[in-house]
Structure 1
């Protein structure tokens, strides 16, 4: 992953359009024209979001003739999911142990 950490990826995915792109790519590789059609967003907007997702290591680009197809990197998503699972487990473990006030 090229950005600094899991919290940055979570923040990146908090953007509704990026979350929608991730959701669409979960159904298989797609080119920018598909994502423009499916989201109703402008092509430059989709391209900017795809660049951010590529920089984060969540998406890869695959040239196919005149088009570039984008696909999800499942291992990157597993890393984020694992971090969230760890946070949930810590919350369960520590739910009954409030911190003492100074």
Structure 2
């Protein structure tokens, strides 16, 4: 039961939904990319990513001092279904926020990115 609670808590926060949306459209992103795209401080983004990891929604790969995140490849059925449900979200309620995040991500200067 506790695992299900963690999953729903992970989906209950707008910042975490924004992170999931960005990771759905990119293969892998580091914390600094995600922070820049969301215009949020890195420690806040890291805390939200930790919650998403605990809910088995994202996985992390360490490369030196950088941490790269992606949607978890092997997720339980509940998480897969909830991730797919993001496609059904009313675009009129989210397009500004999600769209702005994706525009900022696309506008990141490559030399400033972690890779």
Higher relative contact order (CA 8 A, sep 6+): 2
4+ long deviations beyond 6 Å: none
Partner of 1:48: 47
Structure 2, unaligned stretches of length 5 or more?
86-115
Partner of 1:72: 71
Structure 1 unaligned runs (5+)? Answer: 86-102
TM-score when normalising by structure 1? 0.67
> TM-score by structure 2 length?
0.61
* Higher share in helix: 2
Over the aligned positions, Cα root-mean-square deviation in angstroms equals 2.5
Cα pair 2:6 2:54 within 8 Å, conserved: no
Greater Rg, structure 1 or structure 2?
1
